[in-house]
């Protein structure tokens, strides 16, 4: 599931019901998944990954995966699968995560 893009009801960090938006699956936890926000508002922080293959991944506009905007959610929030990231974008997401998310 890593790398799949879904249209989902992405919750706000306050816990309030969020809005429908694309999200990238980072980790499959069986009934749940760890997701990050995908947005067309271009950000350029250390945990923002510009998706070069955005069209092939089913996105409508140039987009950024925001690895600092995470949520663990039940898969029931998935409304529709849009696509999957290409190999280059998958590797960029993986390396950005590994470089920045250390305990």
CATH topology of domain 4-97: SH3 type barrels. (2.30.30)
- Per DSSP, the three-state class of 46 is coil
Q: What is this structure's pTM? A: 0.91
pLDDT at res. 91: 97
Average pLDDT, stretch 5-34? 86
Predicted confidence (pLDDT) per residue in 26-50, tens digit: 999 999 999 999 999 988 899 999 9
Instruction: Count Cβ atoms within 10 A of the Cβ of residue 35 and give its class: 0-12 exposed, 13-18 middle, 19 or more buried.
Output: buried
Does residue 15 have a pLDDT over 70? no
Read off the pLDDT band of 3 (50, 70, 90): very high
Q: Which two tokens stand for residue 103?
A: 């305990």
Q: Which two tokens stand for residue 59?
A: 């996105």
User: Euclidean distance between the first and final Cα of the chain, in Å?
Assistant: 24
Q: Which two tokens stand for residue 101?
A: 């998310």
């Amino acid at each position: 599931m890593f790398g799949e893009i879904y249209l989902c009801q992405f919750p706000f960090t306050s816990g309030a019901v969020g809005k429908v938006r694309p999200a990238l699956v980072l980790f499959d936890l069986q009934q749940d998944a760890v997701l990050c926000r995908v947005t067309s508002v271009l950000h350029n922080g250390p945990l923002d990954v510009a998706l070069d293959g955005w069209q092939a991944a089913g996105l409508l506009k140039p987009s950024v995966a925001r690895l600092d905007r995470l949520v663990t959610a039940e898969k029931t929030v998935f409304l529709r699968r849009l696509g999957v990231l290409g190999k280059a974008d998958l590797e960029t997401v993986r390396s950005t995560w590994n470089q920045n998310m250390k305990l």
